[in-house]
Structure 1
Amino acid sequence: MTESWVRKTASNLRSRPELETRQVSPVSHVQHMLTLEEKRATPNTAMYAIEGGKELAKALENVSALIPLPFLSSFVNVGIKVLEACQDASAIEENVKDLQERAYNLVLVVVNSTIHEKTSPELRERIKALQCVLSDILADLAKIKDQRKMLLVFFPDLNKGRVDKCVGRLNEALEKFQLASQLRAELHVEDVLVKINSALLPQLDRIEAAVDRFSQPHNSPHPREDMPLPHRIFCGREDLVNEITSLLATESTSRVCITGVGGMGKTSVGLAVAESVINKKIFLKKHVFWVPCIEAKSPDLLCRILYAQLRVTAESYDTLGPLVAELDSSKQRRLLLLDNFETPWLSGEDQTKVFQILVRLAELPHIALLVTMTSGFTPQDIEWYHRPLAPLDPPAARDAFKRKYRDAAGGHGLIADGPDLDELLASIGYIPLAITLMAASGGCLGISPVDLLRDWKEEGTEMMSGNQTRSMDDTIRLSMERGIVKSNPEALQLLAILSLLPAGTIGSNLDLWASSLTPSRCHAAVKTLCTAALIELQSDGHFETSRIFVRPTIRSYMSHKGRIPPETRDQVHDACYKFVLQHKSIPDDHKFKGDLEALASEEINIQALLMEIPINAPQPNAVDALIAFSLYQAWTKSSTVVASHALAVARAQDDLHVAVVTDRRAAARRVAEAHRSLALSLLRLDQYDEACVHFEEASARFKNLPGGADLPCAGEASMLLLETRMYLEPFSAELESLAQEAQRNLSHDRTDEYHVAHGFLGLGIFLWWSQSPKEEVLDALSAAKEIFERLGCPKSIAMCLYHLARTYAFHGEYAEALPIIKDASEKAEQSGEVGVTLLRTLSANARYLIVLGCYDEASGVFARLLPLSQVVGAPGSIAQDLELLAYNCAAMMNLPGARVAYDGARIQFIKIKSTRLGGDGVDRCTDNLRRLESMAEMTQNGFSQLMRPDPMY
């Protein structure tokens, strides 16, 4: 920078032979120089005019604050541009050479005058006038240069006149400058050079000495570090880099702060931006400075690092004054990349002083600031363009993983990169550093994503080790050791709590999980952890509904090596069990809908905590919470994971053979309830055979409870067993006997109207299925409906209405069935039990509309039905609904829609092909697809040839 230009200029001026103190004529001078050229191969005078002038101009520009030559470098620069333009306009060489020599002499004379005369305001104005003349001449020369070469060859006189006018303007300006006599006496050019030599070289010597002192200060402020190279594997951030580059290109938007948790790739983005602004010539390479702040644990150390990285020296490094003055002395734009700024911002005890340093830098408009910091908030009172970093999207994460894996494996690519890799990337939260370290580990050892996922679950972030600055554990540990975190014990306690919640939680539920913290202390802890980027807050403007969560890498780090105290873990588990049991209800309860919403808001967290319950040593209420939650899932989106674990824990507790009879009864009841819960989920998933096994076991266990049978519960299990077997078997005396037994058990206590009504409902369903007389079916269903209406049970009323409508539809009375099924849908909505009841009623509604020819109205029903069917996830229901859609599309002459829907239905029917429903469905869809493939367009005749969905009631 300054040092190299000064030294080069001084060396050039000292070494030129024409600067010897002797007088020669212009001719003899040129001859002398030609002789030297031949003997020494040194540049001639014209070359010195340009090259030496360049060096002089740059030296004057860079050290103008150190020597008494104000405003001079701008003038010399314009002169140099004129000399260069003269060289380019070579088609009329002799004329331009004359102009070139006069311009060179002018620059020398002005420099000489400035050195030997007092720089009065009048002299400055005269020099400014000359500069304007030079600028006009430069414009004329640019026009000559832009002409096509053919024009310059055939019409050279056009430009001769233009150059002559330039020379004339130059002479006229010189007359006004009152130095024309010196320039006309061309014999005295050497005198000018000698005078410049004698006057300027001593000053250059002093400048060079000053540069030497500053380049090798007596007390180096801090070891200087070179900017790292941008990361070679850089995926998924290109748009962000381009956006930040555009912001930095303009002074008004050149304050950018990148924030995010440790390992999110902030430094990588910062380095990529630095490379981008250089490549796009927004900043010169020498004007882009990387300032590593990771060791700047105090304002004083930050100040010294700034001095070192910006190559600024001073007598003292205790204040920022000399550095700011140096930056302000030149208005050349510069970029400061303050990397890992969280260290001075969050670790030091005096954040005010750190902020003052940042403000002083930000006050210089031509200094662009790009700050990266592990934080959730930017420093206040500066107009930042805040860009918080999110994880990579899945495609970019896959690309980054595979490229790094290939690198580490010596060019051998990852073979198994399907769903297993997706699961691995999701488990580490798509965080760039975690991806890089995981891929490097896998590639180095040549192991698969399956093995890496196993290691991750066992070892966590410990397996992600690189060098000291690239270890995931070290990255997280540094964030936790920030002064702002260590000074707030509640923050670490809250971090431990939130680390047990994989989905985070909303602000209004913090009192549920962190009941030991007061609201005010909890809010303060949230702010501290967000500031340190250990947690993240997805705000919607209201704290109560904003989501607070911890990234997977930090959660994994916390879960190992006893970083979460046992008492904290027990507290969170107890809170989970209490929360589930507080919201335990059945679909006919008036609070069921609200309970579903509450459990849904914490479903992922609850499942994760419940699955941690040990089989042999569960805490109090653990099994009850497991069973209650598995029932909740059966009513919403069925899953056998929690239900199977509930059964395993309940069995282990029952095997303890507790001596007290009441405890034995409670333990045995839990096993029966767990069987029933698991069976219900299996039924919802169309896994009928397995469901039958557990319904039978549940019914038997309820009958054989220690201390006496629970017949109503046994009757419920038997009635569900009957419903399941009706999917698998034709009518038989055995099923009729099962129906009668189930109703007797449900009606055992005549005062228990709720179970009595369920007995009538189950009987009515069986009578309909066994094709009993219509009146018998309607009587049983109507009796059940009347009791449920009296008790105010919306879900059960909806089921009664559903089966009443199906009875009318079965007998072809679709006009009577349609209003009943619509009422059933309204009751199902009211109950909140949308997983089965609403799904069934909507599906029946679509069937009846299709049969009645109301295809447009049926299309409206499908808009609600199909997404709900997908959520529930039962292949049988999905298949039937898609087949209905296909048939409705065909009826509306939509041939492509019909083909797509039939194909989707066939795929779902294949999943349950072993059942009668599945086998028949595959045959119908296959046959209809074959018919549709032969059609060029759908016609009414073609539609009539399609097999109708079965059943249509």
Structure 2
Amino acid sequence: MSWLKSQLQRVSRSPSPAPKISQSSVLETTRNLCELVSNLGSGALNVPGLQAAGLIGCQIIDILQIMKDNQDACNDLVDDIGQLMSPINLRLQGCRTADVDDELKAGIKRLEEGLQKVRETLQYELRRGRLDRTLNPGRNAGEIAKCKAIINRQFVIFQNSSLMSLQMGMASLKRQADGPRTGEQNANDQIVKSVFTTISPSGPVTNVAGHIFHGNVNMYTSASGGHSVTPWHSSAGSFPSQPAPPEDFFGRDDLVLTLANLFIGNEQRRIAILGAGGLGKTSIALHLMHHEIVVQRFQGREFFVGCDGVTSADGLASRILQILEASASASGNIINALHAALAGALPTLLVLDNFETTWDTQGGHNAVRELLKKIASVKSVSIIITMRATDPPTEIRWSWSETIPALSPASAKDAFLAIHGPLPSGSNSDDEVLDELLKELDYVPLAIHLLAQVSRGFKPPFMLKRWREKKTQMLRVETGARALDRLESVDVSISLSMESLHVDRNPEAIQLLGMLCLLPDGLLGWQERLEVIEKTFDTATTNLFLLRKFALVYTAGDKLGVLSPIRHYVLHHHPPDSQHAQCIYNIIWELVNTYALVSFGPKFRGAVDALSPEMANIGSLIDHAAAYDPGEIIVDIAIQISWHLCFTHPSRHLLQKVSTLVPSVHTKTQARYWQVSSEIMYRQGEYMEAESTFKQARGLFLEIEDCQGAARCSQRLGDTLNMQSNYSEAAVILTDARCQFSEIGDRAGAASCSQSLGDILRLQCDYSEATVSLMDARATFLEIGDRLGAAQCSQRLGNILSEQSNYSEATVILTDARTQFIEIGERMGAAQCSSTLGEILSNQGNYSEATAIFTDVRAQLIEIGERLGAARCSISLGDIHFWQGDYSEATVIFTDARAQFIEIGERLGAAQCSQSLGNNLRMQSEYAEAAAILTDARAQFIEIGNRVGDTECSTSLGIILIDQGNHTEAESLLAHARDQFIDIGRDEWTAYCSLLLEECVRARDGEENTETGS
């Protein structure tokens, strides 16, 4: 009954009254404000419309006090008027008529006109009479909403009190400029004139600590009330002749500033910027090198030294000397010459870029080490190195040394759009696809830079598809016959790191890397799992150290990962062999076997916590196994993990990965495959598809004479028909399934069928029979020791009492059921009981307490991973705002809930949110938009086979037609809706449609009589 009442409230043409709150203080305050504004207009300020605006405001308040219906909406309107009048009164107090410029005068005149429209509208509503307003409350609420809109439009004129201060301040400055001038005023004359030509009252104005910013102008309001005006400029410096930093630089400013601050003072600094290729280490070094603090410290002696191609200590020393424009004797030691040149020079900064090229050279490593120590020994020389590594050289002590992360999602998007330009279509869907594409690139700067170049002229969906087909092969620019360098191709960049690793000499390290590349989420709990890997590959730890040395892997807390571009490159060029792949299969399959089939209860949260971080890894390994090691085990893994997804994020995407293998597996596995497929369809609201697939699974179970499996499919088939409002057929199938369970001695299955039959009877408002069926089921559950089933029956019995408005007894039973759920660790059942208790409070008008309960329940459901129930709590919270006439907040909540349902894949919930949004607009007299949304929602209900939702939307559309005076078409639509409710067995809805139809007939007869009389 409570659910039905909530639906009736949703289509009712007046919201339920909120608990009454005294508004006398608000009325008095608002009236005083209006009188003050009126007095200003009749006194010191001779501004047309100001006195009238205040008087009309008082008259509006008088009318609202007389109107006794839609009190919440009336009170809100009073609040809005008070909020409008308050800043006007505040800013005009103490002003002179000369301070009010023409723009402000025009705004006050428009205010008077707007208030006149509000007064006329309310006077007309008052003349309609109390009875008329009671019979047509929706129309009354709509007119008040229009008045609120008019008042709110006035805020556009007076939206920012700082604007008014600026306007009057400018007027004051003009007067000062026209009067006797001081020397300072003469000096600022040109600035003032410039300001008056650039400031317009329509631009954005911000007041911060007395500074009023308008565009590029800063007007400072002094404590004494005077004003000064200065242009607001940003500084820009020129760069030295060294390589310029790239213009497209995003998400690294804070890091550059942190590093630049290290150079404040005279101490020597040694900075190592580390990480994989393509992360933007060189860009960071260049921006740091050209930072104002660094330039000021070294006064032009900042030198960038590229180490590419330099494979010896002498070669690097020679290159540095050349860049320093210092000479070395032909017979002398070049390293000593470099040391002498640096020691005899002013403070110097050396940036050694791609230092790993020289550092990892074969045969000359000791000499390079000595060179680095020699340079570092000169205290006036600071060093910055960039290096493809996880750890810097240990021969010297570093001031700062870190592996830099990839970009944030927002910075990655900014970087892409800066190079690519705006998206071709600019649609939200393209925007979302771009977000997904950037995420698959792990937000690596080089990959994003190249993607942006090759994507010009193409839409994101095409680029995402191409990326998934080509991977890193597409991340390259066209250079013709010229060979690509590391900044023009991701593959070239990664291959340089692979060359440093010496693939031929370290095959085991390459295989370990290939194994890790199968895990897009990384190897979680990597230290413990590395021990497991070492049981098969005893050099795993040594190989990992080698991979980390060249920054081919990274660690982040408990995760050992590989960046997306490297991962795809390795899988293409160096895939793991079957032995290494099987090793990682075993680790992840054990996790699935342990947690995937844990159902709701005390252990479910732990299962969610264990599996959620691994979902991408599981999907990747299913893909790999389906392609390289197909077999029944991989189908079984997909089935198990999909059962888990049923309770968290219902999705068939993992089942689709193994769909081609299904015909070759045993019949029982096939039956289980289609059973979980249909269960997910059911939970996603795809009831017609679920009905067909349950029948398919049931047929396979019958084929192998698995009576229990067949009976379970029959039970779920009955539940599916119930959701389609096909109650008679559902009851037949559930009765048959109950018999099947009884024949094989499955008393729990039989009791579950009785429970479902009770649900059908409740929906048909046959509460006495529903109660009998649920009582029988509960007795059976108690006899067999199934406390969960017994608690679920108690919960449903409480729901029946609630729908019959027997709130006190319902509260007792639901409270007891909730206690039972808590004792057995079934948090979802406990949350559902709390939710129904919240509905009872809401139906009793106790909105504040109901809101608190729904908010708490939603938090509990989110915590246990039950997103579907959490989204339904959002609907209940939206309903409360709707019933109280708070349509704007209701819109926000319904829209957010709909997005959650869409993300989950629950089509029924999404359609119900659209239905609520449509009714929300209808209550605001936004008939065209409301009709469009309700029509779309109705189409969704029809598509998923939900007759109740379809018919409710038809009823709402009929009400819109009545409000628009289209009684003939409304009568046709409502007659059809009434017939549908009769067929479904919804008596109260049937009666409601009958009342609406009587209103149509009376209105049509009245129109005909009017035409006859004329």
TM-score range, shorter chain: 0.5 to 0.7
User: Paired residue for 1:553, among 536, 541, 565?
Assistant: 565
Q: Does 1:469 pair with 2:462? A: no
Q: Could you tell me which residue of structure 2 aligns to residue 152 of structure 1?
A: none
Instruction: Tell me the amino acid that sits aligned with residue 441 of structure 2.
Output: I
Partner Cα distance (2:823, 2:658) in 1: 30
Instruction: Tell me the amino acid that sits aligned with residue 385 of structure 2.
Output: V
Q: Could you tell me which residue of structure 2 aligns to residue 178 of structure 1?
A: none
Q: Does 1:598 pair with 2:610? A: yes
CA contact 1:876–1:912 (8 Å) conserved in 2:
yes
Aligned pairs for 1:560-709 within 5 A: 560-587=572-599, 593-614=605-626, 618-650=630-662, 652-654=663-665, 667-705=666-704, 709=705
- Per-residue CA distance 1:657-690 (angstroms, 9 max, x = gap): xxxxxxxxxx111121111111111222222222
Q: Could you tell me which residue of structure 2 aligns to residue 850 of structure 1?
A: 842
Partner Cα distance (1:758, 1:890) in 2: 36
Distance 1:364 1:279, change over 3 A: closer
CA contact 1:257–1:370 (8 Å) conserved in 2:
yes
User: Paired residue for 2:467, among 456, 459, 472?
Assistant: 456
- Per-residue CA distance 1:449-482 (angstroms, 9 max, x = gap): 3333333222222222352232211221221232
Partner Cα distance (1:374, 1:230) in 2: 20
* TM-aligned CA deviation for residue 801 of structure 1: 4.2
- Per-residue CA distance 1:202-251 (angstroms, 9 max, x = gap): xxxxxxxxxxxxxxxxxxxxxxxx95433243333333333322323434
Instruction: Tell me the amino acid that sits aligned with residue 288 of structure 1.
Output: E
Partner Cα distance (2:805, 2:385) in 1: 73
Q: Could you tell me which residue of structure 1 aligns to residue 778 of structure 2?
A: 782
CA contact 1:615–1:649 (8 Å) conserved in 2:
no
Distance 1:913 1:413, change over 3 A: closer
Aligned pairs for 1:714-725 within 5 A: 714-725=710-721
User: Paired residue for 1:396, among 389, 411, 427?
Assistant: 411
Q: Could you tell me which residue of structure 2 aligns to residue 807 of structure 1?
A: 800
Distance 1:489 1:384, change over 3 A: farther
Partner Cα distance (2:537, 2:798) in 1: 53
Instruction: Tell me the amino acid that sits aligned with residue 328 of structure 1.
Output: A
Aligned pairs for 1:493-532 within 5 A: 493-508=511-526, 511=529, 515-517=533-535, 521-532=539-550
- Per-residue CA distance 1:577-618 (angstroms, 9 max, x = gap): 343234343416876554443322322210222234438972
Q: Which moved more, 1:332-341 or 1:471-480?
A: 471-480
Q: CA RMSD in A?
A: 4.2
Aligned pairs for 1:97-246 within 5 A: 228-246=243-261
Q: Does 1:745 pair with 2:736? A: no
Instruction: Tell me the amino acid that sits aligned with residue 581 of structure 1.
Output: N
Q: Which moved more, 1:390-399 or 1:694-703?
A: 390-399
Partner Cα distance (1:696, 1:422) in 2: 40
Distance 1:372 1:933, change over 3 A: farther
* TM-aligned CA deviation for residue 722 of structure 1: 1.5
* TM-aligned CA deviation for residue 838 of structure 1: 6.5
* TM-aligned CA deviation for residue 298 of structure 1: 4.3
User: Paired residue for 2:343, among 318, 323, 328?
Assistant: 328
Instruction: Tell me the amino acid that sits aligned with residue 438 of structure 2.
Output: L
Instruction: Tell me the amino acid that sits aligned with residue 371 of structure 1.
Output: I
- Per-residue CA distance 1:728-772 (angstroms, 9 max, x = gap): 11532x22211111112223332x454455345444444444525
- Per-residue CA distance 1:337-388 (angstroms, 9 max, x = gap): 0111223344556766544433443343322221111122233451332343
Identity percentage of aligned residues:
26
Q: Which runs of 5+ in 2 are unaligned?
A: 1-240, 478-483, 927-955, 960-985, 989-1014
Q: Could you tell me which residue of structure 1 aligns to residue 224 of structure 2?
A: none
Instruction: Tell me the amino acid that sits aligned with residue 702 of structure 2.
Output: K
Aligned pairs for 1:863-874 within 5 A: 863-866=855-858
Provide the TM-score with structure 2 as the length reference.
Answer: 0.59
Distance 1:925 1:456, change over 3 A: closer
CA contact 2:647–2:866 (8 Å) conserved in 1:
no
- Per-residue CA distance 1:613-670 (angstroms, 9 max, x = gap): 43897224111111111111112111121234455432x215xxxxxxxxxxxx1111
Partner Cα distance (1:754, 1:914) in 2: 28
* TM-aligned CA deviation for residue 528 of structure 1: 2.9
Structure 2 SS opposite 1:638: coil
Partner Cα distance (1:349, 1:913) in 2: 60
CA contact 1:668–1:701 (8 Å) conserved in 2:
yes
Q: Could you tell me which residue of structure 2 aligns to residue 542 of structure 1?
A: none
CA contact 1:746–1:758 (8 Å) conserved in 2:
no
CA contact 1:427–1:552 (8 Å) conserved in 2:
yes
Distance 1:307 1:928, change over 3 A: closer
- Per-residue CA distance 1:251-295 (angstroms, 9 max, x = gap): 44732221221111111121222233489533233x111122233
Q: Could you tell me which residue of structure 2 aligns to residue 275 of structure 1?
A: 290
CA contact 1:616–1:653 (8 Å) conserved in 2:
no
User: Paired residue for 1:376, among 387, 390, 399?
Assistant: 390
Structure 2 SS opposite 1:392: coil
* TM-aligned CA deviation for residue 551 of structure 1: 0.7
- Per-residue CA distance 1:510-560 (angstroms, 9 max, x = gap): 638963557984444333322321111112xxxxxx111111101110121
Aligned pairs for 1:29-48 within 5 A: none
CA contact 2:526–2:560 (8 Å) conserved in 1:
no
Q: Which moved more, 1:686-695 or 1:249-258?
A: 249-258
Structure 2 SS opposite 1:282: helix
Q: Which moved more, 1:247-256 or 1:669-678?
A: 247-256
Partner Cα distance (1:588, 1:273) in 2: 54
Instruction: Tell me the amino acid that sits aligned with residue 884 of structure 1.
Output: S
Instruction: Tell me the amino acid that sits aligned with residue 674 of structure 1.
Output: Y
Partner Cα distance (1:580, 1:917) in 2: 29
CA contact 2:353–2:385 (8 Å) conserved in 1:
yes
Structure 2 SS opposite 1:782: helix
Distance 1:294 1:865, change over 3 A: farther
Q: Could you tell me which residue of structure 2 aligns to residue 174 of structure 1?
A: none
Structure 2 SS opposite 1:376: coil
Q: Does 1:926 pair with 2:918? A: yes
Partner Cα distance (1:229, 1:839) in 2: 60
Provide the TM-score with structure 1 as the length reference.
Answer: 0.63
Distance 1:913 1:244, change over 3 A: closer
